[in-house]
Amino acid sequence: MSAAVDGCVQPTGPGLPGTESRALVVQKFGGSSLATPDHVRRVACRIAQDRAAGRRLVIVVSAMGDATDELLESLRVLNPRAPAREVDMLLATGEQVSIALLASALWALGCPAVSLTGWQAGVRTDRVHRKAQIAAMQPSRVLRELEAGRVVIVAGFQGLSPDGEITTLGRGGSDTTAVALAAALGADECEIYSDVDGVYTADPRVVRSARRISIISYDEMMEMAHLGAQVLQIRAVECALVNDVTIIARSTFTAGPGTRITEVGAVEDHSLARAVAHDRHVARLALCGVPDRPGVAHRLFAALAHQHINVDMIIQSQSRNGKNDIAFTVGSDELPHAEETARGVGRELGAEAVLAEDGYGKVSLIGAGMASNPGVAAGMFAALADAGVNIEMISTSEIKISCLLRREVVDTAVRAVHDAFNLGRESPLPGSTRAGGAVSAQGRG
């Protein structure tokens, strides 16, 4: 039974018959999909239509628009070093606004819905504020609400620690809530909706010729997420890999197949280079003139790890007069804590200077087939050189090459590398046209 209201198909009455046999789907809607009350209404219409089509739905939502950034900005004005517990208490409010508004919008369409906070939905985490890991899912309340025929709306990004404290899962953490719920509920699908219709060969906001990838392996997607492609949070992809959940990344605003993130065997090709990712929020620190003896690097990086600060690139210079420099990068939002820690360790070790500077970005080329092809790195450096971009630091792995750059040249660098490897081409042949781009670029380098 359904009726059209406000352009939406609206189911009538609580719960549809045959609940257990209907597909169970977890859908996550991000901030960009919920920016205004109008957006919330559109999402509600979409959900009501899906329910009318016979699906049982658990919906995970983020804070509206830039709400999380705005909360962080208010806090920065009052206390940039606020206790992490208070930061989590504040940030969790963003998602709570969204769940209540979306549930209310669904009721307005006649669709029975219930909003649940992370802790009500059974998201149990460790004690690490701002970057909590999910320790267990106890979704009994979610199951009860589903059985009662309601659409269950869960606040993403938040959980409860063993001490009864509210924690948050790191930026973009609602993606992880969605995948963890899909795994715990044994859902048929986990759909992540945002303002893009899938995962592209580069951020489509930066590279107009970027191409949608139809299927991508967990490994490549993890690397992309780790290197800055914010379309999915890395921990969500890890959680999907471990629990064998296929993620479908789709657009809230248009219909289309999106991108399937799934296991390696199903990937369409093993191209040399697959995508370019970038991260605009990188800070660089250096301890200059520290003694060249065993244990120095350990002292520094153990102190940073103790503060739960993720260190990315590391370079240690050659020793001169028994001293050397250690430079490393962290996310810009970690700079205040990283600087404090580095200065403490620097004093202890008698460092000649401690440098800390924001204003960097990182551009990375990713592809599972890169490990065995030395021309790829040369091709990337040639593309950057041709674009007049200076490289500040380099790091490589089997599956990626990353370059640290000044933040203002990130867009230029992303486009140059994407073009050099012809990543925007339709239906490229595995390892042929893209390799050609790399080889010719190498020839110039």
Contacts with Mg ion in 189-228 (CB under 5 A)? none
Report in angstroms how near the CB of residue 213 gets to ligand ADP at its nearest.
Answer: 8
Of 160-168, 226-234, 332-340, 436-444, the window that binds ligand ADP (rule: CB under 6 A) is 226-234
CA distance 380 to 418: 9
Does residue 172 touch ligand ADP according to CB under 6 A?
yes
Partner from ligand ASP, ligand ADP, Mg ion, none contacting 63, C-beta within 5 to 8 A by type: ligand ASP
Applying CB under 6 A, among 93, 230, 243, 246 the residue interacting with ligand ADP is 230
Of 44-52, 173-181, 343-351, 393-401, the window that binds ligand ASP (rule: CB under 6 A) is 173-181
Contacts with ligand ASP in 14-53 (CB under 6 A)? 30-31
3-class SS of residue 102: helix
Under rule CB under 6 A, how many of the chain's residues touch ligand ADP? Answer: 19
Applying CB under 5 A, among 65, 122, 139, 172 the residue interacting with Mg ion is 172
Report in angstroms how near the CB of residue 57 gets to ligand ASP at its nearest.
Answer: 19
With tokens 């002292």, the residue in question is: 299
Does residue 65 touch Mg ion according to CB under 5 A?
no
CA distance 153 to 290: 53
Report in angstroms how near the CB of residue 351 gets to ligand ADP at its nearest.
Answer: 37
Nearer CB in complex with ligand ASP: 161/233: 233
Report in angstroms how near the CB of residue 140 gets to ligand ADP at its nearest.
Answer: 27
DSSP single-letter state for residue 32: G
Nearer CB in complex with ligand ASP: 175/339: 175
Partner from Mg ion, ligand ADP, ligand ASP, none contacting 284, C-beta within 5 to 8 A by type: none
- HEC string of 407-438? HHHHHHHHHHHHHHCCCCCCCCCCCCHHHHHH
> Is there a contact between 394 and 361 (Cβ–Cβ < 8 Å)?
no
Nearer CB in complex with Mg ion: 34/416: 34
Dihedral class, residue 350 (left if φ above 0, else alpha if ψ from -120 to 50, else beta): left
Closest listed residue to residue 293, CA positions, set 341, 349, 353: 349
Closest listed residue to residue 393, CA positions, set 401, 418, 375: 401
> Is there a contact between 177 and 28 (Cβ–Cβ < 8 Å)?
yes
Positive or negative torsion for Cα 166, 104, 248, 255: negative
Applying CB under 6 A, among 8, 27, 30, 238 the residue interacting with ligand ADP is 30
3-class SS of residue 334: helix
Beta carbons within 8 Å of 26's beta carbon, 6+ residues apart: 57, 58, 59, 60, 178, 179, 181, 182, 185, 187, 189, 190, 191
Is 190 exposed, middle or buried, given 0-12, 13-18 or 19+ CB atoms closer than 10 A? buried
Does residue 62 touch ligand ASP according to CB under 6 A?
yes
Applying CB under 6 A, among 81, 205, 208, 293 the residue interacting with ligand ADP is 205
Partner from ligand ADP, ligand ASP, Mg ion, none contacting 195, C-beta within 5 to 8 A by type: ligand ADP
Applying CB under 6 A, among 10, 49, 115, 174 the residue interacting with ligand ASP is 174
- Where on the chain is the footprint of ligand ADP (CB under 6 A)? 30-33, 62, 172, 194-196, 199-200, 202-205, 229-231, 275
- Where on the chain is the footprint of Mg ion (CB under 5 A)? 30, 172
